[in-house]
A and B are shown apart, each in its own frame.
Chain A
Amino acid sequence: MAILIVADHDNHTIHPATLSVLTAAAEIATYTNNSELHLLIMGHDCQPVVDMAQGITGLSQILVADHQIYQYPLAENIAPLIASLVQTQSQAHEGDGQGKYSHIITSAGTTGKDYQPRVAALLDVAQISDIISVESADTFKRPIYAGNAIATVQSSDYLQVITVRSSAFVAAPLSDSSLSNGNQVAVVELAAQADSGKSEFVNAELTQSSRPELTTAKVVIAGGRGMQNAENFALLDALADQLNAAVGASRAAVDAGFVANDLQIGQTGKIVAPDLYIAVGISGAIQHIAGITGSKVIVAVNSDADAPIFDVADYGLVADLFDVLPVLTEVLKAKD
């Protein structure tokens, strides 16, 4: 039996979330007589990703489908390829019970959320979203109701199709593959399937940022409606520079147009679990709290002493954020 991990990448580098998925997959393997871990890379001109994957410990096979139709992760093209791997593997090894995939697992980013349920439906099995812990080979914990309850669910399917909340699992180590070339992982080239012809990529507008990525940053500073306008987010940027932090936002700040939507933290945005989370001018609606409760230390700066954010904050400062932010930035600068 093997576990198929689907890599999240941009044709150049592997997304760190994939390393957290590897940890989850390795945990599952401990319940399945140490299944082999296979990494699937679908992309175009994605050799750098394959080279990088050689630096992941614990893999026994890397499957690569490098073709133009996988340049952008279109669910219509990706899902049938993943589903076919399960089907051919199970037929080829029928009887000996070896080599058949027991789990297909990927990160719960927007790409995984897009194709993984499509894979599950093609294979007529359930999909288990956003797991935060592995209880056994078929039993997992996942948050429901915006994280206000944790459900333990057991699957009765022959195959588990799973997305992983990456912030709930530590990232597996990634070594420089050029140093470990004595231990090459077998690479299997896969033929491309037919293009579905039903969807095509038109264009992308990606947010450019030199800051750490929101979901993997050690420190996150987020602003809410209290920031009042887009220009004031410069105050958070200045503080973020001092702390090498990522900047996020509440839904109110995104809806008001202060920042781009991909910075939204919460139930319907990104889930973060940094060492330090600083909420500035955020009242703390349940939907926002859902995205931050995994943080080690939460700091809240809010002028409203009754704001619900103070119920979850380790350190709260009741003050005007426009007074606090410049002082905090100066104090940290002085410490450098």
Chain B
Amino acid sequence: MKILVAVKRVVDHKVNVRVNANETGIETSNVKMAINPFCEIAIEQAVRFKEQGSADEVVLVCIGPKDAEVQLRAGLALGADRAILIRVDEEVQSLDVAKLLHKVVQEQLPDLVLLGKQAIDTDNNQTGQMLAALTDMPQGTFASDIVFTVPNKIKVTREVDGGLVTLALSLPAVVTVDLRLNTPRYASLPNIMKAKRKIITVIYPENIGVSLSPRLTTLKVEPPPTRQAGIKVADVAELVDKLQQAGVL
């Protein structure tokens, strides 16, 4: 069984982002970049399946600039076998990401495609679902548990608004992972060294017959309205008093 894992390079989740001066986006110069945390969980899951013997090969795919090789190496150091980088310098929107991944799926023929449920920069939560639509595969979104059952089927437990829902999907399938699926490991130094010898294949959208067609234009990016600085109260009595004055009790 082959597992394809999509990986995105994003601003590290610990960075306090700032809107740039001309309000066109986020200040990204000299900002630490990392693998999107949800993608890291997807890689970890694929590697665990390989360790359990239910997968033979784990292939990473990333759409991004040359520097995204850093994140792919980090993913390879976690235990993936090889990687594909689709070189694009500008931002690629979800629908185009799904179209690029669709081509990779057609070429690689994975049994399972794992993605994070959302990227923490755009917060879209769309790509996996769009890829499932384009490839006509079933989808298991927001997965907190994935179990291989009878041949060519998986059971996916999903985190939904009221609790948990379990679905059975026919393979090949697209699964997007939630935070609770696993805790990603840290790469060891020997594995980081080994990852340097693993293969990253670089391709360009035009090589696979996809022309990017962004549908959304960002007119403006602004900081959110700031909240008025609050006050510290001395005790419970004062707190209740203030809340009554504010009319919320």
B138 contacts A198, C-beta separation under 8 Å: yes
B167 contacts A202, C-beta separation under 8 Å: yes
Nearest neighbor of B135 in chain A, beta-carbon distance = A121
Q: What B residues does A113 contact at CB under 8 A?
A: 125, 129, 141-142
Q: Which of B84-126 contact A (CB under 8 A)?
A: 93-95, 98, 117-118, 120-126
| Known contacts A118-B132, A275-B248; A155/B122 CB under 8 A | no
The smallest beta-carbon distance between A139 and chain B, in angstroms, is 7
Q: State A157–B93 Cα separation when bound (angstroms).
A: 13
In the complex, B180 has a CB within 8 A of chain A: yes
Q: What B residues does A124 contact at CB under 8 A?
A: 95
Nearest neighbor of A126 in chain B, beta-carbon distance = B215
B242 contacts A315, C-beta separation under 8 Å: yes
Nearest neighbor of B149 in chain A, beta-carbon distance = A202
Q: What B residues does A317 contact at CB under 8 A?
A: 232-233, 235-236, 239
> Size class of B's contact patch?
35 or more
Q: What A residues does B223 contact at CB under 8 A?
A: 148-150
In the complex, A43 has a CB within 8 A of chain B: no
In the complex, A84 has a CB within 8 A of chain B: no
| Known contacts A144-B123, A151-B220; A204/B164 CB under 8 A | yes
A117 contacts B125, C-beta separation under 8 Å: yes
| Known contacts A149-B222, A202-B155, A312-B227; A154/B168 CB under 8 A | no
The smallest beta-carbon distance between A300 and chain B, in angstroms, is 8
Which of B16, B159, B169 interacts with A261 by CB under 8 Å? Answer: B159
Which of A125, A152, A298 interacts with B230 by CB under 8 Å? Answer: A298
In the complex, A93 has a CB within 8 A of chain B: no
Q: A58-66, A185-193, A223-231, A327-335: which one contacts chain B?
A: A327-335
Q: Which of B215-242 contact A (CB under 8 A)?
A: 215-224, 227-233, 235-237, 239-240, 242
In the complex, A211 has a CB within 8 A of chain B: no
B130 contacts A297, C-beta separation under 8 Å: no
B233 contacts A126, C-beta separation under 8 Å: no
The smallest beta-carbon distance between A227 and chain B, in angstroms, is 18
A110 contacts B160, C-beta separation under 8 Å: yes
Q: State A59–B198 Cα separation when bound (angstroms).
A: 58
Q: Per-residue 0/1 for A37-58: is the Cβ within 8 Å of any B Cβ (1 yes, 0 no)?
A: 0000000000000000000000
The smallest beta-carbon distance between A239 and chain B, in angstroms, is 11
Nearest neighbor of B164 in chain A, beta-carbon distance = A205
A200 contacts B168, C-beta separation under 8 Å: yes
Q: What A residues does B240 contact at CB under 8 A?
A: 328, 331-332, 335
Name B's interface SS.
mixed
In the complex, A210 has a CB within 8 A of chain B: no
Q: What A residues does B229 contact at CB under 8 A?
A: 311
In the complex, A233 has a CB within 8 A of chain B: no
Q: State A276–B123 Cα separation when bound (angstroms).
A: 26
Q: What B residues does A194 contact at CB under 8 A?
A: none
In the complex, A207 has a CB within 8 A of chain B: yes
The smallest beta-carbon distance between A293 and chain B, in angstroms, is 7
Q: State A262–B249 Cα separation when bound (angstroms).
A: 26
| Known contacts A75-B139, A76-B139, A152-B219; A117/B161 CB under 8 A | no
Q: What B residues does A203 contact at CB under 8 A?
A: 165-166
Q: What A residues does B26 contact at CB under 8 A?
A: 144-145, 149
B239 contacts A261, C-beta separation under 8 Å: no
Residue with the highest number of chain B CB atoms closer than 10 Å, among A116, A205, A314, A315:
A315
The smallest beta-carbon distance between B144 and chain A, in angstroms, is 7
Q: A21-29, A94-102, A127-135, A170-178: which one contacts chain B?
A: A127-135
| Known contacts A74-B167, A196-B138; A262/B160 CB under 8 A | yes
Residue with the highest number of chain B CB atoms closer than 10 Å, among A117, A139, A148, A206:
A117
Q: State A150–B220 Cα separation when bound (angstroms).
A: 8
Q: State A197–B129 Cα separation when bound (angstroms).
A: 17
B233 contacts A297, C-beta separation under 8 Å: no
A207 contacts B227, C-beta separation under 8 Å: no
Q: What A residues does B199 contact at CB under 8 A?
A: none
B130 contacts A117, C-beta separation under 8 Å: yes
Q: Which of A270-320 contact B (CB under 8 A)?
A: 270, 275-276, 286-287, 293, 296-299, 305, 310-319
B236 contacts A75, C-beta separation under 8 Å: no
In the complex, A103 has a CB within 8 A of chain B: no
A-B contact pairs, 26 of them (CB 8 A): A110-B160, A114-B139, A114-B142, A117-B130, A119-B133, A120-B95, A139-B219, A146-B120, A148-B17, A149-B17, A150-B221, A153-B216, A153-B219, A154-B216, A156-B216, A204-B160, A204-B162, A204-B166, A207-B162, A293-B227, A313-B230, A315-B231, A315-B232, A316-B232, A317-B239, A327-B236
Binding site for A on B (CB under 8 A): 11, 13, 16-17, 19, 26, 93-95, 98, 117-118, 120-134, 137-142, 144, 155, 158-170, 173, 178-180, 215-224, 227-233, 235-237, 239-240, 242-243, 246, 248-249
For the complex of A and B, 3 pairs with smallest distance between CB atoms: A121-B133, A117-B129, A121-B130
- Additional 12 contacts, C-beta under 8 A, given A129-B125, A199-B169, A305-B232: A111-B160, A114-B142, A117-B126, A118-B130, A118-B132, A129-B126, A145-B123, A251-B179, A262-B162, A315-B232, A317-B233, A331-B237
